[in-house]
Amino acid sequence: MKIIAIANQKGGVGKTTTAVNLAACLAAKRKQILLVDLDPQANATSALGVTETGGKSMYGPLIGQSAAADQIIATRFANLWMIPGDINLAGAEIEVARQEDHLLRLRNALEPLREQAPLDYIVLDCPPSLGILMTNALAAADEILVPIQCEYFALEGLSKIDSVIHQIADGGINPGLAMTGIVMTMFDSRTNLSSQVVAEVRNHFGDKVYKTMIPRTVRLGEAPSFGKPIIEYEPIGAGSIAYNALAKEFITRHAAQAS
Ligand X SMILES: Nc1ncnc2c1ncn2[C@@H]1O[C@H](COP(=O)(O)OP(=O)(O)O)[C@@H](O)[C@H]1O
Residues at the contact surface with Mg ion, assessed by CB under 5 A: 15-16, 43
CB 126 within 8 A of CB 5: yes
17 or 75: whose CB is closer to ligand X? Answer: 17
Query: Would you count residue 12 as binding ligand X (CB under 6 A)?
Result: yes
Q: Can you tell me which of 4, 9, 16, 139 binds ligand X, judged by CB under 6 A? A: 16
Phi and psi angles of residue 50, each rounded to the nearest 5 degrees, phi first = -85, 115
Q: How far is the CB of 221 from ligand X (least distance, A)?
A: 3
Kindly write out the interface string for residues 185-224 of this chain, putting x where it contacts ligand X by CB under 6 A and - elsewhere.
xx---------------------------x-xx--xx--x
What span, in angstroms and rounded, lies between the C-alpha atoms of 213 and 204? 16
113 or 197: whose CB is closer to ligand X? Answer: 197
By a kind-dependent CB cut-off of 5 to 8 A, residue 214 interacts, out of Mg ion, ligand X, none, with ligand X
What span, in angstroms and rounded, lies between the C-alpha atoms of 3 and 170? 19
Q: How many alpha carbons fall within 13 Å on the CB side of residue 173?
A: 23
Angle at 111 between CA 133 and CA 101, to 5 degrees: 50
Q: How far is the CB of 59 from ligand X (least distance, A)?
A: 19
**Packed helices 158-170 and 132-140: angle between N→C axes, nearest 10 degrees:** 60
CB 89 within 8 A of CB 43: no
Q: How far is the CB of 185 from ligand X (least distance, A)?
A: 5
By a kind-dependent CB cut-off of 5 to 8 A, residue 154 interacts, out of ligand X, Mg ion, none, with none
Q: How far is the CB of 201 from ligand X (least distance, A)?
A: 16
* β-strand partners of 143: 4
What span, in angstroms and rounded, lies between the C-alpha atoms of 61 and 72? 11
* β-strand partners of 73: 82
CB 99 within 8 A of CB 63: yes
13 or 197: whose CB is closer to Mg ion? Answer: 13
Q: How far is the CB of 196 from ligand X (least distance, A)?
A: 18
Kindly write out the interface string for residues 39-68 of this chain, putting x where it contacts ligand X by CB under 6 A and - elsewhere.
----x-------------------------
Where along the sequence are the contacts to ligand X (CB under 6 A)? 11-17, 43, 128, 185-186, 214, 216-217, 220-221, 224
